[in-house]
């Protein structure tokens, strides 16, 4: 099965009403890297006369930090990055995710899995497959039954197991990234059947992001390049669930001095928004990173004026 998204269906065009979003996880304050994603997606929406929504991805509750969502909102406001509709929170959307999972269950493409990371590592080792560090393990299909069937709702919610989606053979996804050009990923070879609901009951990022983007009518997704390798999975879920695939544009990452992506794990420092001057300095750094040149550089400019100039410069 080969899915070439552009041929499969017509993704909605800006004329249908551009709807973009920024979807931070509240695992810490904004840092230079997340500001690049915020600013890039904001500029893209403004340039296209679209809406820009804020969605707090607080699904992985053990990793969320109390108050981080408030802090992120005040940092965005200090940078003049205003959103157009009330912010939404993934923790309040459990029903949607459950419904989507039930839909996939009806399609007979779910199965339960009790493998631990160690079991998967061992199985891959037996198969002579080595996973490079920093790369996800390809699930070898250990728990996949020969015959897929649907399950009862209580089976899905009560069983202490993860639920994976069963991929069809040769599931290759091709899509056009608006920044990076044609992308393609063979999900069987590079990912394997992936998890939609964890054994602790939490819905995964892959499922939640697809359901929320569809529910919120998102037409354009501009986000960090670290998420590029998730996109094919998300497009596959969109086709299963009958959703329209949005346009994707992956933005350059900010790396630290060791060449690692800035993240809360690498203890990236939060952006400084204590006053206008500092906020503007942060925005300027982010703009340079996004490749925007020729922007006004004096001190005597307001954030709103600077953002307007940046919107004109955005392509
Ligand atoms: N919540 C994700 C993150 O902070 C971003 C999800 C997305 O933009 O698709 O990395
Ligand atoms: Zn398993």
Given a cut of 50, is residue 11 above it in pLDDT?
no
**DSSP single-letter state for residue 203:** B
The CA distances from residue 67 to 25, 29, 35, 74, in Å, are 12, 9, 18, 11
Residue whose Cα lies nearest atom 7 of ligand 1: it is 23
User: Which ligand 1 atom minimizes the distance to the CA of 213?
Assistant: 9
Q: What's the pLDDT at 134?
A: 77
Q: Where are the chain's structural domains?
A: 15-92+209-313, 95-197
Q: For 35-51, how does the pLDDT look when each residue is reduced to its tens digit (9 = 90+)?
A: 999 999 999 999 999 99
pLDDT of residue 257: 78
Percent of the chain with pLDDT over 90: 80
pLDDT-derived band of residue 4, with 50, 70 and 90 as boundaries?
A: low
Q: Which CATH class is domain 15-92+209-313?
A: alpha beta
**CATH number at 95-197:** 3.90.800.10
Lowest model confidence (mean pLDDT) among 33-47, 90-104, 112-126, 127-141: 127-141
Cα dihedral sign, 212-213-217-218: positive
| Beta pairing, strands 181-186 & 172-177 | antiparallel
Measured in angstroms, how far is the CA atom of residue 205 from the centroid of ligand 1? 8
23 lines ligand 1 (CB under 6 A): yes
What is the overall mean pLDDT for the chain? 92
Say if residue 103's pLDDT is above 60. Answer: yes
The sheet with strand 51-56 has its strands ordered as 19-22, 51-56, 88-89
Q: Which ligand minimizes its atom distance to the CA of 208? A: 1
pLDDT at 290 over 80: yes
- Specify the length of the chain in residues: 315
> What does the pLDDT read at residue 264?
62
Q: Which atom of ligand 1 is nearest to the CA of 24?
A: 4
Task: State the Cα–Cα distance between residues 56 and 21, nearest whole angstrom.
Answer: 10
pLDDT tens column, 222-268 = 999 999 999 999 999 999 999 999 999 999 988 877 877 777 666 67
Quick check: CB of 20 below 6 Å from ligand 1?
A: no
Higher pLDDT among residues 132 and 295, named by residue: 295
pTM for this entry: 0.93
Whole-number pLDDT of residue 277: 95
Q: Please write the tens of the pLDDT for every residue from 148-196.
A: 999 998 898 888 999 999 999 999 999 999 999 999 999 999 999 999 9
Pocket test for ligand 1, best of 223, 230, 232, 251 (most atoms within 8 A of CB): 223
Cβ of 209 below 6 Å from ligand 1? yes
Q: Of the residues 28, 88, 177, 205, which should be mutated to test ligand 1's pocket, given the most ligand atoms within 8 Å of the CB?
A: 205
């Amino acid at each position: 099965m080969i899915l070439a998204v552009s041929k499969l269906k017509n993704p909605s065009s800006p004329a249908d009403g551009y709807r973009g979003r920024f979807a931070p996880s509240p695992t810490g304050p904004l840092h230079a890297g997340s500001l690049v994603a915020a600013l890039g997606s904001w500029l893209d929406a403004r340039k296209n006369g679209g809406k820009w929504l804020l969605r707090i991805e607080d699904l992985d509750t053990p990793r969320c930090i109390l108050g981080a969502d408030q802090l992120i909102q005040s940092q965005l406001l200090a940078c003049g990055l205003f959103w157009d509709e009330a912010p939404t929170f993934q923790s309040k959307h459990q029903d949607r995710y459950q419904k989507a999972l039930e839909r996939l269950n009806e399609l007979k493409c779910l199965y339960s899995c009790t493998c631990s990371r160690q079991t998967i590592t061992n199985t891959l080792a037996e198969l002579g497959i080595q996973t490079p560090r920093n790369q996800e393990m390809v699930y070898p299909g250990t728990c996949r039954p020969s015959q897929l069937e649907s399950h009862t709702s209580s089976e899905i919610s009560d069983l202490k197991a993860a639920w994976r989606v069963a991929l069809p053979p040769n599931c290759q996804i091709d899509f056009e990234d608006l920044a990076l050009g044609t992308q393609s990923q063979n999900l069987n070879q590079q990912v394997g059947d992936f998890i939609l609901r964890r054994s602790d009951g939490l819905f995964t990022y892959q499922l939640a992001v697809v359901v929320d983007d569809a529910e919120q009518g998102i037409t354009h997704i501009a986000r960090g390049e670290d998420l590029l390798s998730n996109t094919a999975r998300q497009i596959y879920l969109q086709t299963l669930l009958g959703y329209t695939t949005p346009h994707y544009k992956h933005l350059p990452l900010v790396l630290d001095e060791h060449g690692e992506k800035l993240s809360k794990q690498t203890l990236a420092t939060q952006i400084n928004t204590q006053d206008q001057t500092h906020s503007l300095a942060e925005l300027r750094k982010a703009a340079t990173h996004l490749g925007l040149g020729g922007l006004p550089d004096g001190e005597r400019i307001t954030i709103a004026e600077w953002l307007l100039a940046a919107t004109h410069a955005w392509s």
